[in-house]
Structure 1
Amino acid sequence: MFLNAIKPEKAPKALGPYSPAVKLGDFVYLSGQIPLDPETNEIAGSTIEEQAHQVMKNIGVVLAEMGLEYRHIVKTTIFMKDLNDFNTLNEIYGSYLSEPYPARSCVQVAKLPKDVLVEIECIVIDTLIYEQQLAAQQGGCEGCSGGCSEGGCGEC
């Protein structure tokens, strides 16, 4: 099958019949991440600050399982219990990302799983192979000590 389930050991366990992420070719779809502590599978914190940080950390763990980073996110959808927390969430969300920022939607919802304050889902593009090819074409791999050959060094 072309669709691969991504189930990182260091991420919170799924609460139902779904995968934390699925990958099809270069496209990765992350299920909505809520602020579950991966060690206890319990809600981490009671404030929007605590929960937003945990959600972003959980996203990072799922990305890292595939060798990806936050910069590979192209679209997020944020579900919030209370849009009065929007500015606080923006500050925390933005601290994990850099320009160009992903496209985004943000909506207030009546209720979220386990009555959390925030959930974030992502669409990601795995560009690693293209980045390696580009680096090889430019005569070396980014971050290497200069010993790269035409085909790249295989270390990046």
Structure 2
Amino acid sequence: MNRQHVSTEHAPRPAGHYSQAIIAGGVLYTAGQTPHHPNTWELVGTTIEEQTEQAMRNLAAVLDSCGSDFSHVVKATVHLQNPARDFTGFNETYQKFVSHPYPARTTVGSHLGDFLVEIDVVALCPEKTQSR
């Protein structure tokens, strides 16, 4: 099976030895996207709503770079710094980006340092992605 590296300047560059995303077998696997600005790596926002919005924008940029979007997402994994406090605000913002049928989703508490949320997704790639 062939793996294709995905990279866009419209989402934060990886902070380590990993890809923003990989396509394998017509499926896109993203790295966790955080609420950092794509160009400056500055943290965007202080509330869970603001930070979720930025993380989702970063995910949208990665999806778009390979011809996909949130309608193709089949699974999301969400890491919240404080699930008890932030789940409702996260969920209200998240639902602005996804629609029925909603992707499967796992939400876990994680130590994230200075940010509140990190999200990675698995998405199907449209036909046009296969020829890239």
Which residue in the other structure is 1:40 paired with?
Answer: 40
1:30 is displaced (CA, Å) by: 0.5
CA distance in 2, matches of 1:5, 1:44: 26
1:68 is displaced (CA, Å) by: 0.8
1:39 is displaced (CA, Å) by: 2.0
CA distance in 1, matches of 2:17, 2:35: 18
CA distance in 2, matches of 1:106, 1:9: 27
Which residue in the other structure is 1:82 paired with?
Answer: 82
User: 95, 107, 127: which is aligned to 1:129?
Assistant: 127
Which residue in the other structure is 1:15 paired with?
Answer: 15
1:47 is displaced (CA, Å) by: 1.2
Which residue in the other structure is 1:102 paired with?
Answer: 103
Moved over 4 A (4+): none
1:12 is displaced (CA, Å) by: 0.8
1:38 is displaced (CA, Å) by: 0.7
SS of aligned partner of 2:5: strand
Which residue in the other structure is 2:117 paired with?
Answer: 118
How many correspondences in the alignment?
127
CA RMSD in angstroms comes to 1.4
Q: Is 2:83 the counterpart of 1:61?
A: no
1:19 is displaced (CA, Å) by: 0.3
Q: Report 1 or 2 for greater relative contact order, CA contacts < 8 Å, sequence distance ≥ 6.
A: 2
